[in-house]
Amino acid sequence: MMLDLRALTDFPARVTLEDDASRLDVNVPGVAVTGIARVEMDIARSENVYYCTGSVVCAAHLECSRCLEPYPVTLQGEIDFSIVEAAGSAEVRRDELPDTAVVVPFGTSPVDITDRVREAILLEIPLKPLCRETCRGLCPYCGTNRNEQQCNCTMETTDPRWDGLRDLLK
Ligand SMILES: [Zn+2]
Ligand SMILES: [Zn+2]
């Protein structure tokens, strides 16, 4: 996703960017971003530093961690990074900047902000996605999706407190 700094004349500036979500390269197993990713941010300028804050929104399908079915979500991430224009390597001490700063040679435009947008989306992906709080998951015995169908194993107890007793009976 490219930001055309030269097109901005008045600061703070309000910018809206759109791009195919697939071009953000969100390579996470069980996650498929779809459609258009939309970034809205305010850009404040202080000499050679541009502070970008706002949000990114995109649609995605996440694989439910219980039933393994994909389900649709809207991911909304927070944009918060700065772009630093450097005339030469001596002018900017990289170690004094936050990791998220995008350092570009002075006058660079457009600036590629894809990495920052991708990171904002990645932070919004839950570790254990659930299609719904009450998802009943897959039957551990026959693999039936219990949201859709009752299987014949449902009388089997999965209460771990009975495991010891069951072992004794075997
Ligand atoms: Zn589920
Ligand atoms: Zn079953």
CA of 157 to the centre of ligand 2 (A): 11
Q: Are residues 107 and 158 in the same domain?
A: no
Q: In whole angstroms, what is the distance from residue 170 CA to residue 161 CA?
A: 16
Q: Are residues 19 and 96 in the same domain?
A: yes
Question: Does the pLDDT of residue 60 top 80, yes or no?
Answer: yes
CA of 38 to the centre of ligand 1 (A): 27
Q: Are residues 90 and 168 in the same domain?
A: no
- Taking the CA of 156 as reference, the closest ligand is 2
Query: CB-based contacts of 126: which residues, under 8 Å, 6+ apart?
Result: 62
The domain of 108 spans 2-135
More confident residue, 87 or 136: 136
CA of 128 to the centre of ligand 1 (A): 10
How many domains is the chain partitioned into structurally? 2
CA of 136 to the centre of ligand 1 (A): 7
- Taking the CA of 65 as reference, the closest ligand is 1
Q: Are residues 20 and 54 in the same domain?
A: yes
- At 74-101, the pLDDT tens digits run 999 999 999 999 876 556 677 778 888 9
Q: What integer is the mean pLDDT of 39-57? A: 96
Q: Are residues 129 and 156 in the same domain?
A: no
DSSP 38-105: EEEEEEEEETTEEEEEEEEEEEEEEE-TTT--EEEEEEEEEEEEEEEEESSTTT--GGGS-TT-EEEE
Question: Does the pLDDT of residue 24 top 60, yes or no?
Answer: yes
More confident residue, 121 or 162: 121
CA of 147 to the centre of ligand 1 (A): 8
- Taking the CA of 146 as reference, the closest ligand is 2
Q: Are residues 154 and 118 in the same domain?
A: no
Question: Does the pLDDT of residue 166 top 70, yes or no?
Answer: no
CA of 144 to the centre of ligand 2 (A): 6
Question: Does the pLDDT of residue 37 top 70, yes or no?
Answer: yes
Select from 3, 86, 90 the least CA-distant residue to 40.
3
Q: Are residues 92 and 77 in the same domain?
A: yes
Question: Percent helix, strand and coil across the chain, each rounded to 5?
Answer: 15, 40, 45
Q: Are residues 85 and 142 in the same domain?
A: no
Q: Are residues 131 and 160 in the same domain?
A: no
Q: Are residues 40 and 91 in the same domain?
A: yes
Q: Are residues 73 and 43 in the same domain?
A: yes
Q: With cut-offs at 50, 70 and 90, classify the pLDDT of residue 120.
A: very high
Q: Are residues 60 and 99 in the same domain?
A: yes
